[in-house]
A and B are shown apart, each in its own frame.
Chain A
């Protein structure tokens, strides 16, 4: 039996995926959990509601046109325990958000668990789930 780097890399990927599953009550299959991304843009709406809070964000594409991203987060209860309030994010705020994008290419994503976070223009950071 010899050490095979490719097999090792696959094993690491599997372990990583197993260690940090997205938790959204409707399932994690729609999102690409292996490629979290960051997006910067202007907030258009913040929904503080069950089942999941939602941030809508205008992000400029490569041609300068605004694409409105729909990003789900955790429930208000979980966010409150992570120092959020219903006014933590307001329309017009310039933010950078870390999220797992939808696999189907739509401008939709999940920002939650211990990886998801919002960084504000002044450098303040709010994590979605510090546990």
Chain B
């Protein structure tokens, strides 16, 4: 009995050690923290500027291939959403396969919130009445209106929606958005949404170099409960420039012909 317990402890320790070695201690810590869903621990008070997110930021961790939330945390879908879900052929996740029908492979805009899953930087620029959010991915941007206006009641459906925000205290920008079309996936692993989707985000500057990012998706047409995504961390990247990174149909086609198709198994 004791020998069995000892073996179990040794095995557990070995697995944990291997996980740390393979993934890198820093990354493993942040990933475990993110996936656990725990609140971020209080961090040292730093002289972060008040009501100011200006700068270039990048999400931490192995993103780009990550789901909007772990499959087990996605609430049950409505029949409407399940039909769309079944038609998706993503390149990542449990359903991932070469080929597929990811809309971005024909240069459809990646849309919001999926653009927040990309492993490329984004920049906040503050202007009177607005916070402007620029993404390297697709060279896209959106205004977040902080002049007190309400969300529009009947917005035109758009790839990046319509966003308003307000400061909660000096360090948290709360953003609400609506007005999305239903043509985009929530993440590289797929998952549909409807035009009724509303999104709540919280960008909390927990110290000078760090934003804690929280995203909640409310879409009763597609999901029976809100999707609460894992906490994510964004780090300030001083000096980083955001170059042009446009999705160009001709370049995408050439890439598909020379790389993607030859690597895809023949059916």
Contacts and interface: CB of A to CB of B under 8 A. Distances in A.
Contact of B4 (A1, A21, A77, A106): A1
B263 interface: yes
A23 B119 contact: yes
- The size bracket of the interface on A is 35 or more
A77 B120 contact: yes
B262 A108 contact: yes
Given A3-B8, A15-B18, A80-B243, A29 B262 contact: no
Interface stretch (A36-44, A49-57, A59-67, A120-128): A49-57
Given A2-B4, A50-B245, A26 B91 contact: yes
A70 B64 contact: no
Interface string A7-51: 010011001100111111111111100000000000000000111
Interface string B250-267: 011011101110111110
A29 B4 contact: no
A30 B105 CA distance: 15
Contacts of A119: none
A7 to B, nearest CB: 9
A94 interface: no
16 contacts: A2-B7, A15-B19, A20-B23, A21-B65, A21-B92, A28-B91, A30-B264, A51-B247, A51-B251, A51-B252, A54-B259, A72-B255, A75-B120, A77-B242, A80-B243, A108-B262
